Amino acid sequence: ETGVTQSPTHLIKTRGQQVTLRCSSQSGHNTVSWYQQALGQGPQFIFQYYREEENGRGNFPPRFSGLQFPNYSSELNVNALELDDSALYLCASSRRLGESYEQYFGPGTRLTVT
Amino acid sequence: DQQVKQNSPSLSVQEGRISILNCDYTNSMFDYFLWYKKYPAEGPTFLISISSIKDKNEDGRFTVFLNKSAKHLSLHIVPSQPGDSAVYFCAASARSFGNEKLTFGTGTRLTIIP
């Protein structure tokens, strides 16, 4: 069983630029969630996709957008990058199964905005 | 507003002894709780979860206790091993209310002393 993978591992962008981060969900999972983890903090929920539809959004501005594809992989797009967007971006996949549906995380993409 | 709190930023425990990590929450709608472990440069790894209909869940060396009236949960690791040294995050969700996003605490760094 293949785990959650993310690309790229690291990325450096300039303020004002746009970035796309990618995530491949674990085999058999149909739900993908994105989180932002700033230094010294816990992950913060950005949004979730279930069967290609957005299924909940956290307190992030519209310049954070996403997509989920028919194979359940996903993209996170961030426009007009700001210095505060520098963080570890985590993707997690899950499968609704009875009482439990734990989210399994990828290794993350470290984004640095200069 | 921090809805999930881990008030101990760090904890040191002798190898072989019990490690107890604590977590408090304020949102009464939370009904599903999870613990994740995170090593540097890796994504969080799922450890154990508990539904609000239970007060205890056990998996090998890991046991999670839930006290709903106190809005408190704890993770017990017995016996503690050097490989348990990591940052531990408590997370909660309000699944019954259709909200699958995870709200995380700020983490506790556990160090196991050989």
CA-to-CA distance for B67 and B54, rounded, in angstroms?
9
What residue in A sits closest to B50 (Cα-Cα)?
Answer: A100
The answer on pLDDT for B98 being more than 80 is no
pLDDT reported for residue A38: 93
Q: Which residues of A touch B42 (CB under 8 A)?
A: 107-108
Q: Comparing B38 with A100, which gets the higher pLDDT?
A: B38
For the cut 70, the answer to whether the pLDDT of residue B106 exceeds it is yes
pLDDT of residue B41: 81
For B48, name the nearest residue in chain A, comparing CA atoms only. Answer: A102
The segments of chain A whose pLDDT lies below 50 read none
Predicted local confidence at residue B95, as pLDDT: 77
Count of CA atoms in the C-beta half-sphere (13 A) of A41: 14
Residue A90 forms contact with B (CB below 8 Å): yes
**What is the bridge-based pairing of β-strands B72-77 and B62-67?**
antiparallel
User: Has residue B4 got a pLDDT over 80?
Assistant: yes
pLDDT the model gives residue A50:
86
Q: Quote the CA–CA distance of A58 and A46 in Å, as a whole number.
A: 5
Whole-number Å distance between alpha carbons of B80 and B77: 6
Decide which of B25 and A3 is more confident: B25
Over residues B33-57, the mean pLDDT reads: 93
Q: Residue A96 has what pLDDT?
A: 66
pLDDT of residue A27: 82
Q: Which amino acid is at B103?
A: T
Q: How confident is the model at residue B97 (pLDDT cuts 50, 70, 90)?
A: low
Cα A94 to the chain's mean position, in Å? 13
Q: Among B45, B46, B101, whose Cβ lies nearest the Cβ of A45?
A: B101
Tell me which residue in B34, B41, B103 faces A102 most closely, judged by beta carbons. B34
Gap between the Cα atoms of A36 and B25, Å rounded: 20
Question: With pLDDT > 90 as the criterion, what percentage of chain B qualifies?
Answer: 89
The whole-number pLDDT of residue A72 equals 86
Angstroms from A109 CA to nearest CA on chain B: 9
Nearest to B101 among A58, A104, A106 (CB): A58
